[in-house]
């Protein structure tokens, strides 16, 4: 084992040289320091928080090879493409390569020509691969998407269990680093135990990303909303997630008919069609990808400006992973969840289709209920998300989520709450939301009459409302902690202790007025960014920005890489403000490292020098 200690100052020099950033982001510095000191490390950082830099920078300083365990072929390729673009020696080994190509890359690693080698977890189970790796000088094994090791995580993958035995089989134990974007305390414990991290340093960086405006919209005409929103944001890349292939295909066809550049992605398509659509999205040939949750884990596209969930996801982990694919470049972006009660039935159906039994299925239902409560919550959505993952926060509302931006006045709902709580109590807390709503509505259905609930004092006390409205109100009381639901396919609604205080008149229930029945889907653009996200026209010149994007696209086509690998949108926006006139000025822009400047910087510098720093709409030297 190498005993040399590397400093954070050395790491910052490498960061500036290759990545073009003068300092690390929040959370990155401590993780990098830990790895450079030879400590096993667990890093939990939000999607877009820069997890890959946390092991790539140490890989460049540590002797020998860093082996990266990565779950998807597309994720490996994106990472390696980005690294080689910066002049970093990296490669991957996966099923797309021939035997000769695999052997060539292993030989290159043996000669010390590679600093990072990406492999899938399944490869660690192969005897021949273990023997080959035993002959290499591996200083660090970095496990990406480490939550996959836990059966309580949302992407459990049994091959991740082979990581610890593989590390133990090596002649000299390397540093072991594990990274993920989402992990409850339960999953965190599994990662520490199943990966066998030794005296690890654990770092949890804030999951709440300031550039993401989270919204949950109920009662919308979903299809109309999506059509209006994508039309209003046709120049911006976005992802629309739907729960089923049928919904993906329907939305895809409607968007195409409306003239929107859209692609689709789900397991029912051929491998080739999925690959072609994914590449077209990465290269900005299509603007909108409509997909099931099969799409996205391997996508490192930094300029996704919005993610719309057409249906509620199955759990908070999946939602945060998928929503987090927006705004990875740090630019303001929007995450919109279109929720309806039918989504609950869809997710329950999908759980029942899964052959798993026992604790795993009960856990899925528990997580689904927590997702439902998030959708009904009137609290700051960032609070709700952070508390789900057990993360402490500063108690200051984010100010940009749909709850924080809700301008409806608080209304005294104590009387409605007392009626509902009384009905649940009189029904002996043995029935679900729908049954309670039927009794309050005064329904004559068979079960209501069979149990004699038509004789209860609360029967029909909310007959002026629809059963759907009553159910929504009950679910809101669940989200606010007045009620709870048991786990399982048919949850029973029960009173929480605070409900007794409401019934006794000792606690007032204040809630927002009911949502309007009509949606205003076209208002998405006005809702999408609060005042804190307004960009002054005098700061970012959109005309210059678009011209820079065209230069970038031309370079990307020549290099056959996605545009964001050249420079991301945040870097181009800073260029449009600074209008650099020299190499030194270019190198001060975040994201412009020395090697990237040598490879790509000159056309951008020529543009500004030719214009004297003044935008010229007629310039077409690079288009």
* Sequence spans of domains, the chain: 8-204, 212-388, 410-512, 542-611
| 56 touches 84 (CB < 8 A) | no
Statement: residue 414 has pLDDT above 70: yes
* Band of pLDDT at residue 154, cut at 50, 70 and 90: low
| Fold classified for 212-388 | Rossmann fold (3.40.50)
pLDDT value, residue 615:
42
3-state secondary structure 443-510: CCCHHHHHCCHHHCCCCCCCCCCCHHHHHHHHHHHHHCCCEEECCCCCCCEEECHHHHHHHCCCCCCE
Statement: residue 229 has pLDDT above 50: yes
Distance CA 206, CA 203 (A): 10
Q: What pLDDT, in 10s, does the model give residues 416-440? A: 999 999 999 999 999 999 999 999 9
Q: What pLDDT, in 10s, does the model give residues 512-553? A: 765 544 333 334 443 343 333 333 444 667 788 889 989 998
Distance CA 69, CA 527 (A): 40
pLDDT value, residue 513:
61
Distance CA 91, CA 64 (A): 14
The C-alpha angle with vertex 233 and arms to 232 and 238, in degrees rounded to 5, equals: 140
Are domains 8-204 and 410-512 of this chain identical in fold? no
Distance set, CA 435 to CA 103, 218, 345, 438, 514 (Å):
64, 22, 16, 5, 21
What is the CATH class of 542-611? mainly alpha
Q: What pLDDT, in 10s, does the model give residues 276-321? A: 998 889 888 899 999 988 676 556 788 899 999 999 998 898 898 8
Q: What pLDDT, in 10s, does the model give residues 71-88? A: 888 788 888 988 998 889
**Which position has the higher pLDDT, 195 or 616?**
195
| 431 touches 471 (CB < 8 A) | no
Question: How many percent of the chain have pLDDT more than 90?
Answer: 52
Q: Which of 489, 485, 455, 453 is nearest to 471 (CA)?
A: 485
| 568 touches 85 (CB < 8 A) | no
Statement: residue 614 has pLDDT above 60: no
DSSP state, residue 521: G
Distance CA 301, CA 173 (A): 34
Statement: residue 622 has pLDDT above 60: no
> CA end-to-end span of the chain, whole Å?
52
pLDDT value, residue 40:
96
Statement: residue 207 has pLDDT above 80: no
Question: Which CATH code fits 410-512?
Answer: 1.10.10.10
Architecture of domain 8-204 in this structure = 3-Layer(aba) Sandwich (3.40)
Rounded mean pLDDT of the chain? 86
| 391 touches 206 (CB < 8 A) | yes
Highest-scoring range by mean pLDDT, 36-50, 245-259, 556-570: 245-259
Distance CA 46, CA 514 (A): 33
Statement: residue 510 has pLDDT above 50: yes
Statement: residue 411 has pLDDT above 90: no
**Which position has the higher pLDDT, 73 or 394?**
73
Q: Which residue has the tokens 């959505």?
A: 381
Q: What pLDDT, in 10s, does the model give residues 87-122? A: 899 999 988 889 999 999 999 999 999 999 999 999
Which of 504-514 are b and which e, b meaning 16 or more Cβ less than 10 Å from the residue's Cβ? eeeeebebeee
């Amino acid at each position: 084992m190498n005993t040399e200690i590397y400093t954070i100052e050395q790491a910052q020099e490498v960061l500036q040289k290759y990545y073009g950033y003068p300092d690390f982001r929040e959370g990155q510095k401590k993780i990098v320091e830990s790895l450079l000191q030879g400590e096993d490390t667990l890093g939990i950082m939000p999607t877009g928080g820069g997890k890959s830099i946390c092991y790539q920078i140490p890989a460049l300083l540590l002797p020998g090879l860093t082996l990266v365990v990565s779950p998807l072929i597309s994720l490996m390729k994106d990472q390696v493409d980005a690294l080689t673009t910066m002049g970093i020696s990296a490669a991957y080994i996966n099923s797309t390569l021939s035997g000769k190509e695999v052997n060539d890359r292993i030989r290159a690693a043996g000669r010390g020509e590679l600093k990072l080698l990406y492999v899938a977890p399944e490869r660690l189970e192969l005897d021949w691969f273990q023997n080959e790796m035993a002959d290499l000088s591996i200083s660090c094994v970095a496990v990406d998407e480490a939550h996959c090791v836990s059966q309580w995580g949302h992407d459990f993958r049994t091959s991740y269990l082979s990581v610890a035995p593989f590390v133990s089989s090596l002649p000299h134990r390397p540093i072991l680093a594990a990274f993920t974007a989402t992990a409850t305390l339960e999953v965190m414990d599994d990662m520490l135990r199943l990966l066998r991290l030794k005296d690890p340093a654990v770092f949890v960086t804030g999951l709440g990303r300031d550039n993401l405006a989270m919204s949950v919209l109920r009662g919308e005409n979903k299809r109309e909303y999506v059509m209006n929103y994508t039309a209003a944001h046709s120049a911006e890349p976005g992802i629309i997630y739907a729960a089923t292939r049928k919904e993906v295909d329907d939305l895809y066809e409607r968007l195409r008919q409306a003239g929107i550049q859209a692609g689709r992605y789900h397991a029912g398509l051929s491998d080739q069609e999925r690959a072609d659509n994914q590449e077209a999205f990465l290269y900005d040939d299509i603007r909108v990808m409509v997909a099931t949750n099969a799409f996205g884990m391997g996508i490192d596209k930094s300029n996704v400006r919005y993610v719309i969930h057409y249906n509620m996801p199955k759990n908070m982990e999946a939602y945060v992973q998928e929503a987090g694919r927006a705004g990875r470049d740090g630019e303001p972006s929007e995450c919109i969840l279109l929720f309806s009660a039918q989504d609950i039935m869809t997710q329950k159906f999908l759980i029942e289709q899964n052959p798993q039994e026992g604790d795993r299925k009960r856990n899925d239902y528990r997580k689904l209920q927590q997702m439902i409560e998030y959708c009904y919550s009137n609290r700051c959505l960032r609070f709700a998300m952070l508390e789900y993952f057990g993360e402490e926060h500063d108690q200051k509302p984010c100010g940009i989520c749909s709850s924080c931006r809700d301008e409806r006045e608080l209304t005294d709902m104590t009387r409605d709450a007392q009626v509902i709580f009384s009905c649940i109590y009189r029904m002996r807390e043995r029935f679900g939301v729908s049954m309670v709503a039927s009794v309050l509505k005064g329904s004559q259905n068979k079960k209501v009459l069979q149990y004699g609930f038509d004789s209860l004092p609360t029967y029909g006390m909310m007959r002026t409302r629809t059963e759907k409205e009553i159910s929504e109100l009950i679910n809101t009381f669940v989200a606010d902690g007045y009620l709870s639901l048991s786990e399982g396919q048919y949850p029973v609604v029960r009173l929480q202790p605070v409900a007794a205080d409401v019934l006794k008149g000792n606690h007032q229930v204040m809630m927002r007025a009911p949502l309007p029945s009509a949606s205003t889907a076209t208002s998405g653009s006005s809702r999408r960014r609060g005042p804190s996200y307004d960009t002054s026209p005098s700061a970012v010149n959109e005309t210059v920005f678009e011209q820079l994007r065209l230069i970038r696209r031309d370079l990307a086509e020549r290099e056959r890489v996605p545009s964001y690998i050249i420079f991301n949108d945040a870097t181009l926006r800073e260029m449009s403000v600074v209008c650099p006139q020299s190499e030194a000025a270019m190198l001060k822009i975040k994201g412009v490292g020395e090697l990237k400047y040598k490879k790509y910087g000159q056309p951008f510098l020529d543009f500004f020098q030719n214009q004297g720093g003044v935008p010229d709409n007629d310039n077409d030297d690079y288009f």
